[in-house]
Chain A
Amino acid sequence: MSAASATTAASAELATARLRPRRARAPLGEGRARVAKAVWLGLVSLYFVIPLAATAAFSLEGEHGSYTISAYTQILSSSAFSSAFLLSLRLAIETIVLAVVLVVPTAYWVRLRLPKLRPVMEALSFGPFVVSPVVLAVGVENVFRKAPSWFIGSPNILVVLYVVLSFPFLYRALDAGLRAIDVHTLTEAARSLGAGWALTLWRVILPNLRTAIISGALLAFAIVMGEFTIASLLLFNTFGVYIETVGMTAATGAAALALISFALTWLAMGGLVLVLGRAGGGKGSVARQVQIGVTR
């Protein structure tokens, strides 16, 4: 045993000896690393930019090799487009609000008081991947058949389903966020200073989960804006359904729509980041939260 440990010690020493000169040359290596990083970033952005550029080029094609923006004007002026987009936007916001209100306190409480339930939550969060949206839609329709018509007959029913669909993303983001802070100590510190549960959640836990909530909310947003299966089965004209319809009827229109929805979705996400970044009391900015996350 002592022979073995002696060899390990010797090889460890060798390893450090080999490392030392390399560390001395670090500045050179750093420069090379920066170039490699730039090249890599360039390649990755090409992966995104080329399809977008190609789509843009196609969307501008007119008859006989001419160029026109008519595809864009048509879509932007159509009332079907704006009503579908606004409906999905509304559903996305309602979904995010409902999901955050339900999931944040739950994830917090599970972490704080019911650690034994964590595997159960994990398993539950796989649900939406296991159960296909078709099954979900049909099942929900059956369950809610006797529900009042303001619920079953209005897009509100979609919000419930979208909360289910986005639960895994939000829960996982929150769980990671909760793991990054010392939930127990922060909670006890707040309570010893006189804060009740609601105040502790609102003023201590929520602000420190902002980054996690934003990333979960963005995913939820993307899911709702693009969701097609359930909305189409339940016969609602959401943005996803509208895109699908246009895609089947107009070629350049579909390309233009893809770009428009891309731009709008990103704009909306930017707005979301701004709004959520300010919410939760306190003056903290998202940038600061990120910084805190990085320095930890």
Chain B
Amino acid sequence: MATLALQGLHKRFGTVTALDGLDLELASGELVSLLGPSGCGKTTALRIVAGFEVATSGRVQVAGRDVTDVPANKRDMGMVFQAYSLFPNLTAAENVEFGLRVRRQAKAARAAKVAELLELVGLASAAGRYPYQLSGGQQQRIALARALAIEPSVLLLDEPLSALDAKVRVNLREEIRRIQLELGITTLYVTHDQEEALSISDRVAVMSQGRLEQVGTPAEVYRRPATPFVAEFVGTVNRLTVRVVDPAAGIVEHRGRRLETAEPLSLTAGAETRLLVRPEALVPSLAGADGTADGIGGRVVGTSFLGAVTRLWVDLGDGAVVAADVQSAAADAFTPGTAVALSIRPGAGRVLASDRSEADPVVAELPA
């Protein structure tokens, strides 16, 4: 397999800057997700790699070879599209065979390869069906088989699951990962769904406004977001306004209460900053009869059942609302109106070095 490198990619559409200097390297056999909100430039980046779009500047390399000026049909890249893209006039098997016919492979070799790939995506029985006779999920499986049939050096997927319903989406993403690992193919996977990206990737590259915010393993990106954007976009996060007490020990203070953060701080004592806390790191307990308890005081204003856990929306007074998760089995005690005390799991709070976003106090929003 091959490495893939995106080097300093810039792309402008008229006055719109879609990519603003994108650098990303994929190791051989690695699956990297490009994750970001709609319009941040993910598709543009993928299309430049595929050769469908010409970068304003920057290079693309495959296995150390510069392919920036190679036309799309000579790049040997497999691509799965967001929209259904099977050729409507060809059967599933003929679709898979298409790239092999273009390459003028012998008939027997083609037939063997098609059978192998249909088997791989679990659709051997659908070989003779036309796209309109296949479900959305099946169509995307065939599209994957078609892309893989040419034994591409790199596999590119642009939100391949976004048109499918939730259950199929989860199944198919596991399938894609299984196949990717089995073939060991270098893969760039575009998605706006953080759960999808975290669940199938070796590394996640979080994008915003044409730039990379952070590249790291799913755990790194989730636990140690490098920027407020990443913290907000990947998972839910609460932000608490705190004052630095002891930078070396990572101690901060929230309304007079001392809290321990994950690591030493580069800020001076007395400085005001924001502490980011995931809902699962914010532990609610029932406040005492006098309304006081050991923790940040607040009142439950809403609950959302999420399955194993229930998310509580807690008003801290002054209008700030934070999210805190409890096991659903224990959630009955926390009805709206209940006074609670929130404590932070030791070391779970994180202060961002490059905290550059808007005014305090900001917290997770109530669900719409």
Interface residues of A (CB under 8 A from B): 181-182, 185-186, 188-196, 199, 203-204, 207-208, 210, 282, 284, 288-289, 291-292, 295-296
Contact = CB atoms under 8 A, between A and B. Distances in A.
A289 B83 contact: no
Nearest to B75: A192
A212 B81 CA distance: 26
Interface in B212-267: none
B135 interface: no
22 contacts: A181-B88, A182-B84, A185-B85, A186-B85, A189-B79, A189-B85, A192-B77, A192-B79, A193-B99, A193-B102, A194-B74, A194-B102, A194-B150, A195-B98, A195-B102, A207-B89, A208-B87, A208-B88, A208-B89, A289-B89, A291-B132, A292-B88
Name the interface size band of chain B. Answer: 20 to 34
A199 B90 contact: no
B105 to A, nearest CB: 11
B88 A191 contact: no
Which 3 residue pairs across A and B have the least CB separation, nearest first? A193-B99, A192-B79, A207-B89
B103 interface: yes
A185, A193, A282, most chain B CB atoms within 10 A: A193
Contacts of B94: 282
A185 B81 CA distance: 8
Contacts of A185: 81, 83-85
B278 to A, nearest CB: 37
A188 B89 contact: no
B305 interface: no
B72 interface: yes
A109 B85 CA distance: 19
Contacts of A288: 89, 130
A194 B99 contact: yes
Given A185-B83, A185-B84, A188-B50, 5 more contacts: A189-B87, A194-B99, A207-B87, A282-B89, A295-B132
Contacts of B83: 182, 185
B117 interface: no
Contacts, number: 79
A288 to B, nearest CB: 8
Nearest to A294: B132
A189 B132 contact: no
A20 B233 CA distance: 44
A191 B102 CA distance: 10
Contacts of A196: 73
A191, A196, A289, most chain B CB atoms within 10 A: A191
A196 B73 CA distance: 6
Given A191-B72, A192-B78, A182 B85 contact: yes
B345 to A, nearest CB: 43
B293 to A, nearest CB: 40
B73 A194 contact: yes
B86 to A, nearest CB: 8
A84 to B, nearest CB: 38
B81 A193 contact: no
Contacts of B89: 207-208, 210, 282, 284, 288-289, 292
A192, A210, A282, A292, most chain B CB atoms within 10 A: A192
B54 interface: no
A227 to B, nearest CB: 33
B10 interface: no
A57 B130 CA distance: 49
B150 A193 contact: yes
B73 A186 contact: no
A147 B78 CA distance: 52
Contact of B72 (A182, A192, A282, A289): A192
Contacts of A210: 89
Contacts of A208: 87-89
Given A193-B150, A195-B102, A292-B132, A188 B87 contact: no
Contact of B146 (A191, A193, A289, A296): A193
Contacts of B51: 191
Contact of B98 (A193, A284, A289, A296): A193
Contacts of A292: 88-89, 130, 132
Contacts of B52: 188, 191
A284 B94 CA distance: 12
A41 to B, nearest CB: 28
B87 A186 contact: yes
Interface string B85-120: 111111000100011001100000000000000000
B351 interface: no
A192 B73 contact: yes
A289 B146 CA distance: 22
B59 to A, nearest CB: 20
A284 to B, nearest CB: 5
Nearest to B77: A192
Contacts of B84: 182, 185
A203 B143 CA distance: 17
Contact of A192 (B86, B88, B90, B147): B147
A188 B132 contact: no
Nearest to B156: A192
Given A194-B150, A296-B132, A189 B73 contact: no
B79 A188 contact: yes
Given A189-B79, A295-B132, A195 B73 contact: yes
Contacts of A199: 102
